[in-house]
Amino acid sequence: GRELAPRLANRTEDQVKAVQIVFQNPDSALNRSHSIRHILSRALKRLGGLTGKALDTRLEELVRSVRLTDRHLAVKPRQLSGGLKQRVAIARAFAGEPRIVVCDEPTSALDVSVQAAILNLLADLQSKQDVSYIFISHDLGVVRYLSDKIAVLYLGRIMEFGPSEAVFSGPHHPYTEALLSAVPKLDRTESARIRLDGEIPSAANPPTGCVFHTRCPRKIGAICETQEPELIEAEPGHTIRCHIPFEELARLQKPTAVEPA
């Protein structure tokens, strides 16, 4: 998250319009000294090229689309709760009818009680507008709810990529397997949680070979330390970066192979 802003700073004006970002913390994204009306009107003018009556009409629509009301337009960000501020940030991102919205952990700074409402809002906006999300999150439950395709990253490398269903149903990359073992199951069945030992290495100075080898519970030997595995297509559209063949991962990860908790 923290690394995202500088990397996006050099975009052209058209890219700025096409790609918008909703940050983790709406406080740092909204100008504190302006009213919500000013913040959204400015975005509609700059990103949507609107003025006068057209701007007022669109402002009203935009405010309704994120389930805010006129009452919220007169106030400044600090007078709103975290969830309401995030709605303003989302409205601003949609002001220019973007093609892609990068959602960088958009609910992780919010109270658990309002997280679901914001996710529902994002899902709703996506189904109504012609927009794609790049949704960055550590919360696999949230990722599953919103994503069509999932990329699992470790130290900035894609370890697994595929349709959401395939990534969740497996076979999994050993890192994905460990992440999924920590997610509570809806059917309340228990499975052994895989704990990853050791510190996360620095992305600037990653381990040799497979970057996950210093913590991988399924490491198979020296090859993991010396050779970086390729991203291999295990099944159509589903790729995994691991020296263990796909069929072997499937065998190792069968539910019967998991020790009870």
Using CB under 6 A as the binding rule, whether residue 240 contacts ligand SF4 is answered as no
Spatial CB neighbours of 74, under 8 Å, sequence gap ≥ 6: 35, 36, 37
Task: State yes or no: residue 229 binds ligand SF4 (CB under 6 A).
Answer: yes
Contacts of 1 (CB under 8 A, 6+ apart): 23, 24, 104, 105, 136
Min CB(240)–ligand SF4 separation in Å: 9
Amino acid code (one letter) for 164: S
Tokens of 183: 């997610």
> Does residue number 218 form part of the binding site for ligand SF4 (CB under 6 A)?
yes
DSSP H helix total and E strand total for the chain: 13, 7
- Applying CB under 6 A, the site for ligand SF4 has a residue count of 13
CA 183, CA 139: separation in Å to the nearest integer?
9
Burial (Cβ within 10 Å: 0-12, 13-18, ≥19) of residue 253: middle
| Interface with ligand SF4, residue 150, by CB under 6 A | no
Stretch that binds ligand SF4, among 52-60, 94-102, 134-142, 207-215 (CB under 6 A): 207-215
Give CA–CA dist 249/166, Å, rounded.
14
Binding to ligand SF4 by residue 89, rule CB under 6 A? no
Q: Counting contacts by CB under 6 A, is residue 224 touching ligand SF4?
A: yes
Of positions 90, 213, 234, 239, contacts ligand SF4 by CB under 6 A: 213
The piece of 32-40, 82-90, 161-169, 209-217 that touches ligand SF4 (CB under 6 A) is: 209-217
Residues that bind ligand SF4 (CB under 6 A): 174, 210, 212-213, 216, 218-220, 224, 229, 242-244
